[in-house]
Chains A and B, each alone.
Chain A
Amino acid sequence: MPAVSKGDGMRGLAVFISDIRNCKSKEAEIKRINKELANIRSKFKGDKALDGYSKKKYVCKLLFIFLLGHDIDFGHMEAVNLLSSNKYTEKQIGYLFISVLVNSNSELIRLINNAIKNDLSSRNPTFMCLALHCIANVGSREMAEAFAGEIPRILVAGDTMDSVKQSAALCLLRLYKTSPDLVLMGEWTSRVVHLLNDQHMGVVTAAISLITCLSQKNPDEFKTCVSLAVSRLSRIVSSASTDLQDYTYYFVPAPWLSCKLLRLLQCYPPPEDGAVKGRLVECLETILNKAQEPPKSKKVQHSNAKNAILFEAIALIIHYDSEPNLLVRACNQLGQFLQHRETNLRYLALESMCTLASSEFSHEAVKTHIETVINALKTERDVSVRQRAADLLYAMCDRSNAKQIVAEMLSYLETADYSIREEMVLKVAILAEKYAVDYSWYVDTILNLIRIAGDYVSEEVWYRVIQIVINRDDVQGYAAKTVFEALQAPACHENMVKVGGYILGEFGNLIAGDPRSSPLVQFNLLHSKFHLCSVPTRALLLSAYIKFINLFPETKSTIQEVLRCDSQIRNSDVELQQRAVEYLKLSSIASTDVLATVLEEMPPFPERESSILAKLKKKKGPGAVSAGELEEGKREGGEVNGWEVNQQKSEPSQENASSLTTSPSPTPTAMHLSLTSFFFPSSLSQSTPSPSADLLGLRSAAPVSAAPVSAGSLLVDVFSEAGPAASTAGVNDDGFLRFVCKNNGVLFENQLLQIGIKSEYRQNLGRMYLFYGNKTSVQFVSFSTTLKPVDPLVEGGAQVQQVINIECLSDFSDAPLLNIKFRYGGALQNLSLKLPVTINKFFQPTEMSSHDFFQRWKQLSQPQQEAQKIFKANHPMDTEVLKAKLLGLGTALLDNVDPNPENFVCAGVIQTKAQQIGCLLRLEPNAQAQMYRLTLRSSKDTVAKRLCELLSEQF
């Protein structure tokens, strides 16, 4: 088909486009355009009524000008007029203009809607499709209001043409996304689901996008689609490449539809019906098998389409996370792709493996590819592939390979692209901390990090190393020695000076015995860096000096000399000057006893979540968190996005909080707040606030009330429990309580047996998957549980799964008990555990306004309806962790209800078979006292009491 015959009819337009293309400069182009705009304007305003053709031509010219990037502020009316033309091309151009230049002018929208209405009822399929396209393109609320009722009817009507059905399905999807409240599927549901059976492949392809979206929102109503999707998929997968005629794409039968079907199945858990499940597993196996067959074509389109299906199948296998055999096969397949010559496949394989790394079944299999991944990090030419390799190394890291991975990432950092350095630094810092067994390795790693990529080491990272050194006395001497050595380098990074100043100021005495690092040598070394540093670092160094005076009286006169010199005591920077004056005075008037008290060693910091991790997540934005973490998030109940958003939203309030309570400056003076301010209250008001100062725990002010430090759990991060190095859970009561705010994890673990749990709840129903893993190499015999019959033999290293359904009949306090018996090497093992089913699992979150909340709060004011507890914080009082826990509880977290922004307010309804029980919750943290007050009000007294008990153990 020659081009000219198609674009004809509008010679004027072609001439105009040529003119524009011939313009030699931007100015000439603008001039030509302005001339044309003036011409069109006069035509539109002219007395003579324009014929349809001219109108179409001018509207098209306007469109062209708009697409060149110029603003268009007229012509809308003429375009709307074209909509009601009888001529197809005029109508078509009219619709195109409206679609591209949407204008929310309400007057116009009414006219447009009228035209659409006429076309929809015209029964002319071409016109109907144009109208549906326009609705989908504009997709505004007004359009949804006008047409959301009509389109489902068109979609399921028996006499609708296939092409119109396709448009109607996707148009409805668009409206559902803009205004879900206006699209009521109710009566249409089953007919829409049955479009999966339609004979026309195009109709199925279009309809499945709609069905997938609706299933995500209303899984129960659409669950019949699972078996339909499986049988459709099975028919496609087993068909020969020619069966589907034009729906075969480069010898691959219906790749788009196959992928969509696999995607739809990812909205649901594995099918319960054995036959359906068997058929699906067969499909997945066939897809994996086909990947091994020789290609039917050398064209890249063939392999892309084939692999698109393969990756989607792997995504489904990972989603189910219950078929170890398939997971390992998937992992092997991806392993092959890691070395494929197509860069695209290497990229996708790395990305997909990140999610596999977080599955307990395939974590080990992923780890076998470590050398290939490291190699990719070193040799890939494409930065985006290297980035994925770094992500995967991060995801596959556990205690066994942490040293190797961290070493590789560090060496990669030396040549890494600037765009990803900061993120790499954060990842190295997190891994080093998370898997540190030996803290001298941790200190080495972080100091190396500063040496190699000092510019990219954010405050969080160096704050954290100081926190850890302060809290662990076994590493302090080593840290002092290492940092002293690092400072010997002629050019060292300012961050190194900061860490050095702080650590030597605290622990310089530990290495002072060696004449090569005597107090004066230490001081001279630090002071040699002083003049090259910025003001905040100098301030920090001054504080280190005063600490030196306390640690080493013999340095007093030298240091006083330094403080006394004009460049300090008359420094133009008011903060430095003030410190110099105050420290000089302090060192000369205070007795050694007073000095020793004031400048005492820092007390341990309260343990808290590592904010490096938070920073990493924040940095990458909601969608970009490495797939591994996303997967973990999904397993925690799919709240990764919400969590991210919360975090970002709360940032300002955190800052406010910190600036209200104490000075957030990260320097030692600020840390000594309670001490120095005693003498010089004014000195602190000067310090410059730093946006991320919260890291060292300054917000909770005086670290005097530090929580006890547990040596084993330095990093309390909210994600670690589902992470690759799954926790080694302790006793059951503890295990039970850990499930109050989450649904998945390890319930119990000893030397023999690990019990993992996954559970989901909807209204008053729940389903729990129990995984019993035999950790030994010996078979367990006579294995039985009180729940349900289960295979009495559990092979060594094998895992048995049990599914139980739960129904909440009425409210309860005691958890159901699970008894497990088995013989291991002849000895009978008997285990009794509480199943983590608590009343809060049956919460439905309830959003409400502040007004409604207080009204209901008042209604529940009888004394027995309220339960209250005041208790001490067992964990660091981190806002984000609190929010995550409260959301995990199942209630809605209500913003802007409590007048005090520090407090948390939640509402929810507990669904039991017998009744619904409304509950309101208020949690008031007191950071100063490290205490909480928890208040629950509920229409049922036992519920309020039980929730209060459960929750008081959580924070």
Chain B
Amino acid sequence: MMRFLLLFSRQGKLRLQKWFLPLPEREKKKIIRDMVAMVLARKPRTCNFLHWRDLKIVYKRYASLYFCCGLEEQDNELLALEVLHRYVELLDKYFGNVCELDIIFNFEKAYFILDEFLMGGEIQETSKLSISKSIEASDMLQETMEEYMSKPAF
């Protein structure tokens, strides 16, 4: 299973953090620090995998953002790269040409999309169509419900 997923900028600003196992806050901060330092120090065109403690770290840079996740020993690194890619695709489809600002201003949406895709660190659904459909459905739900609720009551 994936243990955590972090999104941070080239300046080391954290944009999204998802922990699939509960950890104490101090431990989380330590991991974030280590990951940012390790990944930002990598030279270009090096491989996307690292060992850190007993975890495999897989990271990839998309424009100004680094996507970085921690995997357990038996997980497949190449597939994890594609998990990151699929997540980027999902964000892209939702926001339309996604950029860092979209994730900053709509961080809650970034979380919701991730939740449709991964759960407990495992893949829940890989189909881009199904995920987009359920995200759209909940957006619809939001609109219809709000319309419904804002109608004057008798």
Asked whether A93 is an interface residue with its Cβ less than 8 Å from the other chain, the reply is yes
Q: Does A622 contact B54, Cβ atoms closer than 8 Å?
A: yes
* Candidates B76, B96, B127; contact of A1 at CB < 8 Å: B96
CB-CB contacts below 8 Å: B91-108 with A: 93-96, 102, 104-108
Q: A87's closest neighbor in chain B, by CB?
A: B145
Instruction: Flag B83-124 by CB within 8 Å of A: 1 or 0 each.
Output: 001100000011110000010111111011001000110111
Give Cα distance in the complex from A93 to B115, angstroms: 13
- Minimal beta-carbon separation of A202 from chain B (angstroms): 5
* Candidates A9, A92, A257, A623; contact of B73 at CB < 8 Å: A623
Q: B85's closest neighbor in chain A, by CB?
A: A301
With A344-B49, A621-B53 as given contacts, are A17 and B127 in contact (CB-CB < 8 Å)?
no
Asked whether A139 is an interface residue with its Cβ less than 8 Å from the other chain, the reply is yes
Which residues of chain B come closer than 8 Å to A317, judged between CB atoms? Answer: none
Instruction: Flag A79-101 by CB within 8 Å of B: 1 or 0 each.
Output: 00000001111001100100010
* Candidates A6, A89, A254, A624; contact of B95 at CB < 8 Å: A6
Asked whether A802 is an interface residue with its Cβ less than 8 Å from the other chain, the reply is no
Q: Does A382 contact B79, Cβ atoms closer than 8 Å?
A: no
Q: Does A311 contact B78, Cβ atoms closer than 8 Å?
A: yes
Which residues of chain A come closer than 8 Å to B21, judged between CB atoms? Answer: 139
Q: Does B76 contact A312, Cβ atoms closer than 8 Å?
A: yes
- Minimal beta-carbon separation of B17 from chain A (angstroms): 7
Q: Does B102 contact A136, Cβ atoms closer than 8 Å?
A: no
Interface residues on B, range: 35 or more
Which residues of chain B come closer than 8 Å to A177, judged between CB atoms? Answer: 120
Q: Does B149 contact A87, Cβ atoms closer than 8 Å?
A: yes
Give Cα distance in the complex from A347 to B129, angstroms: 33
- Minimal beta-carbon separation of B48 from chain A (angstroms): 6
- Minimal beta-carbon separation of B116 from chain A (angstroms): 8
Give Cα distance in the complex from A138 to B19, angstroms: 10
Asked whether A246 is an interface residue with its Cβ less than 8 Å from the other chain, the reply is yes
Asked whether A764 is an interface residue with its Cβ less than 8 Å from the other chain, the reply is no
- Minimal beta-carbon separation of B114 from chain A (angstroms): 10
Asked whether A60 is an interface residue with its Cβ less than 8 Å from the other chain, the reply is yes
Asked whether A322 is an interface residue with its Cβ less than 8 Å from the other chain, the reply is no
Asked whether A14 is an interface residue with its Cβ less than 8 Å from the other chain, the reply is yes
Interface size of A by CB at 8 A reads 75
- Minimal beta-carbon separation of A594 from chain B (angstroms): 56
* Candidates B51, B106, B126; contact of A384 at CB < 8 Å: B51
Q: Does B146 contact A87, Cβ atoms closer than 8 Å?
A: yes
Q: Does B108 contact A139, Cβ atoms closer than 8 Å?
A: no
Asked whether A308 is an interface residue with its Cβ less than 8 Å from the other chain, the reply is yes
- Minimal beta-carbon separation of B97 from chain A (angstroms): 9
Binds B, one of A162-170, A464-472, A529-537, A604-612: A162-170
Q: B118's closest neighbor in chain A, by CB?
A: A170
Asked whether B153 is an interface residue with its Cβ less than 8 Å from the other chain, the reply is no
Which residues of chain A come closer than 8 Å to B74, judged between CB atoms? Answer: 263
Q: Does A202 contact B126, Cβ atoms closer than 8 Å?
A: yes
Q: B144's closest neighbor in chain A, by CB?
A: A88
- Minimal beta-carbon separation of B33 from chain A (angstroms): 11
CB-CB contacts below 8 Å: A323-355 with B: 343-344, 346-348
Which residues of chain A come closer than 8 Å to B111, judged between CB atoms? Answer: 96, 100
Asked whether A743 is an interface residue with its Cβ less than 8 Å from the other chain, the reply is no
Q: Does A624 contact B50, Cβ atoms closer than 8 Å?
A: no
With A249-B82, A381-B43 as given contacts, are A6 and B77 in contact (CB-CB < 8 Å)?
no
Asked whether B14 is an interface residue with its Cβ less than 8 Å from the other chain, the reply is yes
Give Cα distance in the complex from A21 to B17, angstroms: 19
Q: A2's closest neighbor in chain B, by CB?
A: B96
Instruction: Flag A89-129 by CB within 8 Å of B: 1 or 0 each.
Output: 10011001000101000000000000000000000001000
Give Cα distance in the complex from A622 to B17, angstroms: 26
* Candidates A6, A201, A259; contact of B79 at CB < 8 Å: A259
Which residues of chain A come closer than 8 Å to B96, judged between CB atoms? Answer: 1-3
Asked whether B125 is an interface residue with its Cβ less than 8 Å from the other chain, the reply is yes
Q: Does B102 contact A202, Cβ atoms closer than 8 Å?
A: no
Which residues of chain B come closer than 8 Å to A255, judged between CB atoms? Answer: 79, 82
Q: Does A246 contact B130, Cβ atoms closer than 8 Å?
A: yes
With A69-B14, A170-B119, A202-B130 as given contacts, are A256 and B79 in contact (CB-CB < 8 Å)?
yes
Q: Does A308 contact B76, Cβ atoms closer than 8 Å?
A: yes
Asked whether A789 is an interface residue with its Cβ less than 8 Å from the other chain, the reply is no
Q: Does B22 contact A6, Cβ atoms closer than 8 Å?
A: no
Which residues of chain A come closer than 8 Å to B124, judged between CB atoms? Answer: 166-167, 170, 202, 205-206
Asked whether B81 is an interface residue with its Cβ less than 8 Å from the other chain, the reply is yes
Q: Does A139 contact B120, Cβ atoms closer than 8 Å?
A: yes
Q: B77's closest neighbor in chain A, by CB?
A: A348
Asked whether B37 is an interface residue with its Cβ less than 8 Å from the other chain, the reply is no
Q: Does B149 contact A86, Cβ atoms closer than 8 Å?
A: yes
- Minimal beta-carbon separation of B63 from chain A (angstroms): 15
With A163-B134, A382-B46 as given contacts, are A171 and B127 in contact (CB-CB < 8 Å)?
no
With A87-B146, A305-B78, A621-B54 as given contacts, are A209 and B47 in contact (CB-CB < 8 Å)?
no
Q: A299's closest neighbor in chain B, by CB?
A: B85
Give Cα distance in the complex from A100 to B108, angstroms: 11
Q: Does B138 contact A206, Cβ atoms closer than 8 Å?
A: no
Give Cα distance in the complex from A312 to B107, angstroms: 34
CB-CB contacts below 8 Å: A199-217 with B: 201-202, 205-206, 209
Asked whether A64 is an interface residue with its Cβ less than 8 Å from the other chain, the reply is yes
- Minimal beta-carbon separation of A95 from chain B (angstroms): 9
Instruction: Flag A283-314 by CB within 8 Å of B: 1 or 0 each.
Output: 00000000000000000010011011001100
Give Cα distance in the complex from A32 to B73, angstroms: 43
Instruction: Flag B18-56 by CB within 8 Å of A: 1 or 0 each.
Output: 000110000001000000000000010111111101110
Which residues of chain B come closer than 8 Å to A877, judged between CB atoms? Answer: none
Which residues of chain A come closer than 8 Å to B138, judged between CB atoms? Answer: 88, 92, 126
- Minimal beta-carbon separation of A59 from chain B (angstroms): 10
Q: Does A623 contact B102, Cβ atoms closer than 8 Å?
A: no
Q: A203's closest neighbor in chain B, by CB?
A: B125
Which residues of chain A come closer than 8 Å to B85, judged between CB atoms? Answer: 301
- Minimal beta-carbon separation of B79 from chain A (angstroms): 4
Asked whether A385 is an interface residue with its Cβ less than 8 Å from the other chain, the reply is yes
Give Cα distance in the complex from A256 to B78, angstroms: 11
Give Cα distance in the complex from A86 to B142, angstroms: 10
With A173-B122, A201-B127, A311-B76 as given contacts, are A3 and B95 in contact (CB-CB < 8 Å)?
yes
Q: Does A308 contact B82, Cβ atoms closer than 8 Å?
A: yes
Give Cα distance in the complex from A622 to B123, angstroms: 26
Which residues of chain B come closer than 8 Å to A209, judged between CB atoms? Answer: 1, 122-123
- Minimal beta-carbon separation of B18 from chain A (angstroms): 9
Asked whether A521 is an interface residue with its Cβ less than 8 Å from the other chain, the reply is no
- Minimal beta-carbon separation of A214 from chain B (angstroms): 13
Give Cα distance in the complex from A622 to B50, angstroms: 16
Asked whether A140 is an interface residue with its Cβ less than 8 Å from the other chain, the reply is yes
With A209-B123, A343-B45 as given contacts, are A307 and B145 in contact (CB-CB < 8 Å)?
no
> Max chain A CB contacts within 10 Å: which of B16, B53, B77, B93?
B77
CB-CB contacts below 8 Å: A744-769 with B: none
Q: Does A385 contact B127, Cβ atoms closer than 8 Å?
A: no
Give Cα distance in the complex from A386 to B46, angstroms: 11
Q: Does B47 contact A382, Cβ atoms closer than 8 Å?
A: yes
Which residues of chain A come closer than 8 Å to B145, judged between CB atoms? Answer: 86-89
CB-CB contacts below 8 Å: A610-627 with B: 621-624
Which residues of chain B come closer than 8 Å to A304, judged between CB atoms? Answer: 78-79, 81-82
Q: A343's closest neighbor in chain B, by CB?
A: B47
Give Cα distance in the complex from A1 to B139, angstroms: 12
Asked whether A863 is an interface residue with its Cβ less than 8 Å from the other chain, the reply is no
Which residues of chain A come closer than 8 Å to B119, judged between CB atoms? Answer: 132-133, 136, 166-167, 170-171, 174, 206
With A14-B105, A348-B78 already in contact, 15 other A-B pairs whose C-beta atoms are closer than 8 Å = A3-B102, A69-B29, A88-B142, A96-B111, A126-B134, A171-B119, A247-B126, A256-B79, A263-B76, A311-B76, A344-B77, A346-B47, A348-B77, A381-B43, A385-B47
**What 7 A-B pairs have minimum CB-CB distances, sorted nearest first?**
A623-B54, A308-B78, A174-B120, A7-B106, A382-B46, A209-B122, A343-B47
List 22 A-B pairs, Cβ < 8 Å: A3-B105, A6-B95, A63-B107, A63-B108, A67-B14, A87-B142, A92-B112, A93-B108, A133-B115, A166-B119, A166-B124, A177-B120, A202-B127, A205-B126, A259-B76, A263-B76, A301-B82, A304-B79, A308-B79, A343-B47, A381-B46, A384-B47
